[in-house]
Chain A
């Protein structure tokens, strides 16, 4: 049972669809560190809903579990209790207990995760890395490449680097390639884990612009942001994890 009373309400969401994209119910995560014989609680009893075109900001002190929550939603961490209902074309699926192979499919199809870390494949050009999601979605090589270059430019990656291998780039440059790739194909749900860390102002602004556009297109977002000011205008609702109490979120 979810209480719909707002804790912190901001602007109206761009689109208010009838169905939430994601419904999290009583989610709990702890870590069992066997070699220490310890159990570490990350968060418990978290519930919220995210609708299309809505931006949910995760707040809390460092160590409150913001990043952990994102990763748990993405299934990089295994939830220990509760539900993560994703409304898909096939119906409602509980990501907390879905088969690994279904999670893999959903990650390809509709859930994106953006971090500051890129695992660059050796000897693949930056523009090819960015173009890949479009290629996988069936777009032609030329189209995908043109689109990729556009976004590389938007994020401020110098043209002479487009055909170069990102493994040779600086952290910031890799980050931009990462973002361009992660955001090139609108997905239903996007999770953002400190994507602006180590980015210059120009790139941060490009990111915010892109996120705004994606919001407009109906992409639901859950984000952890260090520079809150950047995305202040995008945020529709917030979830504070420090209190470790079930938080309710406005629609």
Chain B
């Protein structure tokens, strides 16, 4: 006779990867749907995780679904691997899945990020997971989300364009800094999350898969590999990224990457490269260590 203990698995405090199997099934289905319709927001049942809403629960759920024992995870917050939240999330991921941790973009298989995309080119075997606070690009134009959904279905983006038009009229230029609305695969407009304008072109025709997930708002959308991502611009007013070509990181010495501005006591500013691990690698190279910096999207402030 078969014992019950032969039929069941040994007791564990939680499922592999924290989320239970049905939660992961829901996530996988919605993730596949999101890939199937690039840039279109899919609704999902957002689960409770040991983190408050608004701190990256959406991204976390995606990463937990993707993670497996052979994964290597990198987590950054505004480009930094060592910020408190990034560290907490990375340690949690490692604990519930047994995945390896890394700070190196080149080593990671999953990169979860708040508000930045790393400077080094990502490969087709890597997945980028972006944390999204407000997934609805039409929110400033149409607060009612049912109507907004209809507008997406109808590709009715006239009023969104109108915001850009009026920015041009009022200030002579587009004022949108981060979260620049972009047209994905020529069909749906998405907000690429609050990444700076600098990062949006990296999503266009990328070799890697990108997920954008909002836990509090319970929406997920995706940019599959080799998909077009076009920021909404007037054809006679070219898209401009932040002008960081001449800036040098005061700690690592790298130039022409996206910099954080640090105001000094005397009123001037010092600059520090936002992708901290890039800076760290540069310092280690300077110190003679055999470290490699991968190919980057930008060189001297210009997209390649």
Q: Are chains A and B touching directly in their complex (CB below 8 angstroms)?
A: no
Q: Which residues of A come within 8 Å of B, CB atoms?
A: none
Q: Using CB atoms and an 8 Å cutoff, list the residues of chain B in contact with chain A.
A: none
